[in-house]
Amino acid sequence: MNKPQQTVLIVGGSVAGLTLANMLEKFGVHYIVLEGYDEIAPQLGCADQVMSLIDRPIRDSYLRNPDGSLIKHYSGIREGEMFLEILYNNLKRKASVLSGQRAVSVKILDHGVEVTTSIGEVYRGDVLIGADGIHSTGRKEMWRIGNELSPGYFPVDEWSTVPCHYRCIFGISSPIEALLGGIHYVHNHNLSYLVLTGLGGRVYWFLFVKLPVPLYGNDIPRYTKDDEARLAQEHALDQVTTTVQFGHIYEARTSSTLTPLHEHVFQQWHFSHIMTIGDAAHKFHPLTGYGGNAAIETAAALVNHLLSNRNLNWSDSEINAAFSAAQNDRHDRASWLVADAHEYQQRHALTTPLWRILARILPLFINGDAVFHVLGQKYVGASRLDRLPVVKRQHAVPYDDELPDKPLRPVWLLTGLGVITQGILYRVSNKLLLPLQVPTTFEGAPLRDHYTGIGSVDKILTDTTRPDWSNCLSSRCQRTPNLPANSIWDRVLVTGHWSDLATVSFDLFTKEVADAVIPGLGFGYILPTALMLGPFENKDTWQKFVVLWQPFPIYVGVLVAGVSTVFRRQKTTATVSGLKMKQRQASDRPSKQDKATQSTLKLVYAGGAAATALVHLWAVCRILSSSDLSFSAVFGNPSFFLPGSHASTPKDDVLLFFQRDMLLNAATVLAHNVFRILHLRSLGYVTTKQAVAASLVTVVAQPAVGPAAAHIGFLGWREDVFTKVQRRISACN
C-alpha cells in the first residue's frame, strides 16, 4: 500500500513562502500556498521588489550628505526585476498557489494541521509554515494553541516587547530627469534616504524617519494616507541630491505607503506542527536588504532538516526535531543581523555626534573593494540546501561551507590574545633593551650631523649611526656573519613589504606585483644592506650608507609599486593591437594568469627561504667548527638576558644589545607566525589539525633553519592556503 503524500501548508505568498515552495517542489514535496491578496506580488509599493545582484550591468552608488552633496561614489551591481515575480514564475505547480485565501484559524490534528481561510475553505496538511509577515496569523494561532496546550512554552505577551524605532514612506515614482541613475544613500539627522533607479528609469525610494521615542507592540500605530501626506510635506525640502529634493520625487509617485518598521527576532519559532519563517520569525530594518536573504536562509535550513529523513516519515517527534534544529541553525545569526541592520540605520541617520563626524570621514578612506569585503562577511555564513549541488559561479569571498573547516567566532578572542602577546613582548623589550653609551665617533671618525639640511631629520639620521658599528660589525660580526644578516632578514619580513604582501587577499595580488617583488627586494633591500655592511676605508661614506639602509621598507614598497605599474602599462600597450584575440581568450586568461602569479610567488618564497636557511646553517657550521666561537658567545649567555644585566665593556654592551634585539625579533616573528596560523584557523581556511601541525613546524623551524627562513616558509605556506581556497570558489576549476 502506498504511503499518503506528505503536504506542507504555507501561509503567505511572500519571499519566504514562495522560496519555500520552490525548494519543496524541487524535492517533489506537495505544498499549498495560501495568499490573502487576490494576486501574487500585488502593487504594494517597492518593499517586496527585492533587487537581485546577479547578471546585470554595473551601477553607480552614491553616499551623500544632508545637503545632497557627494561624500563618496562607489560601483556596485544591482538588477531590477521583481524577485517575487521570478519566484512565482519559476513554480511548475502554480495551481498550488491559492490567492484570495487569507488564513483565519488553525487547528492541530492528531498527526497534522488544519487551516480555515477567509472564504471558508479548509485545508489539511502535515505541517503549517507561517510566512505571512510581521502581523502573522500563523504565529498568532501558534501562540494561541501553544498557550492552551503547553502554558509557559511561549514568553508571556512577547508582542509587547517588539520594538519600532523608525517609520518609513516607500514608493515608486516616474522617471526624474535630474536624478542620476544608480543608488543614492543620503545621510541626514535622525532620518535617511535610499533612492534607486530601476528599469525604464522608474525611481524606487525610501524615507526612514526616527521616532521621537521607541514604540512597542500594540502601541505601534497603523498609519493612514493623511499621516503619510503630513510626513512627506515635512520633508519636502530635504535634499536627496544637490538638484533634487524629496518633494520632487514624492510628487512624481505612482504608489506609496507609510509603515512602521518593526525590528525583532522572536524567541520561539515553532510549536507542534507549526513553524514560522521570514518576517514572521525575524523582522529586519529594510535598509540593508538582509530581510529577504534571511527569509531564504531560514527556508533552506527548514528544508534541510525537514527532509533529512529520505523516507519522509514525518512523525510528531521528527517534525519537532526538524523545527528545533532549523531554529537553532538560524536564531543566533538572525539576531546578529537584525542588530547589525539597526546599527546600520543608526549610522545613516547620524544619531550620535560621533557618527556625524565619522559619516563624512570614513568613506574617504574606504574603497569599493573594502566595502564589498566588509559587507560580504554578513553573507558568508548563509545556509544552503544540502541536497542540491551548488552552481559554480566565480566569486571573491568564500562561503563558510566552502572552507576546509567551520570558522570560529567570535574573532575578538584571537585579537585579544594577539594584543596581550604583543604587549608582553613590548614590556620585555623595555626591560632588556637598555640605553647604550652614546659614542662620539664612528670607527674613529667624527659622527656626521648633516645629511639633508633639515634639523629634525638630520638628528634622527645621526642617531641611527651612533651605535659603535666599528666595534660591533667589524670586530665581532666579522667572526659571526649570521648575526646581522639574520636580524636584518627578520626586520624586512616583519616590518617591510613582505609582511604587507602576506596580508593581501589572494584575489587582489596580481602577476605584475608578483613579478616586481624580486627587483624590489634586490634593489630596495639587498643592495642597501650590502653597502651598509661595508666596510669602507672612507668612514664618512660608510656612515652615509648606514643611514641609506634605514628606510629600506620604503624602498621595497615604492620599487614594487613602481615596477608593477610599468609592467602593467607594458602589458596594456602590448595587448591593444590584439584586442580581438584578447576577447577570444578572455575566459582562459584569469586561470593562466593566476597560475603564473602563483609560480612567481613560489619562486620568491622558495628562494628567500633557501637563502636565509643557508646563511643560518653556515653560521651554525662556523660556530661548531671554530674553537674561538660558541653559541653562547654569538647568541648570548642566558644570564645576559636577565633584566638589568650589563656587559663588562661598552663594546660588549653593543653586542649584548644586538643579541637581545635578535632574540626579541625572533620571538616577535614566532608570535606573528603562530597568530597568523590561528587566524587562518579562525577563518576556516585550515583545519584544527593543520593549524596545530603548522604551529609545531614553525616552532621547530626557528632553531633548525633560522627565524627568517621559518618566517618566509610560513608566508609561502600561507599563500598556498589562499590558493587552495581560491580554487574552491573559482568557476574555472
d(CA 127, CA 314): 9
Ramachandran assignment for 139, one of left (phi > 0), alpha (psi -120 to 50 degrees), beta (any other):
alpha
Contacts of 541 (CB under 8 A, 6+ apart): none
For 204, the 3-state DSSP assignment is strand
d(CA 99, CA 93): 14
Nearest Cα to Cα of residue 161 among 214, 99, 111: 214
Compute the radius of gyration of the chain from its Cα atoms: 33
- Torsion of Cα atoms, 212 then 214 then 219 then 222, to 10°: 70
- Is there a catalytic annotation at residue 660? no
Question: Does residue 643 contact residue 431 with C-beta atoms inside 8 Å?
Answer: yes
Q: How many CB atoms lie within 10 A of CB 316?
A: 12
d(CA 730, CA 733): 6
User: Terminal CA-to-CA distance of the chain, rounded, Å?
Assistant: 47
Question: Does residue 35 contact residue 12 with C-beta atoms inside 8 Å?
Answer: yes
Instruction: Select which of 167, 202, 333, 676 is catalytic.
Output: 167
d(CA 212, CA 560): 55
d(CA 105, CA 116): 5
Contacts of 95 (CB under 8 A, 6+ apart): none
Name the strand (E) or helix (H) holding 512. helix 511-521
Instruction: State residue 7 phi and psi, 5-degree precision.
Output: -130, 135
d(CA 493, CA 710): 11
Sign of CA dihedral 364, 370, 372, 376: negative
DSSP secondary structure letters along 106-162: EEEETTEEEEEETTS-EEEESEEEE-S-TT-HHHHHHHHHHHHHSTTSSPTTGGGG-
CA angle 31–34–35, rounded 5-degree value:
135
- Residue 684's Cα: distance from chain center in Å? 13
Q: How many CB atoms lie within 10 A of CB 546?
A: 22
For 406, the 3-state DSSP assignment is coil
d(CA 129, CA 132): 9
Strands 163-173 and 282-283: unpaired
- Torsion of Cα atoms, 187 then 189 then 192 then 193, to 10°: -70
**Known catalytic residues?**
167
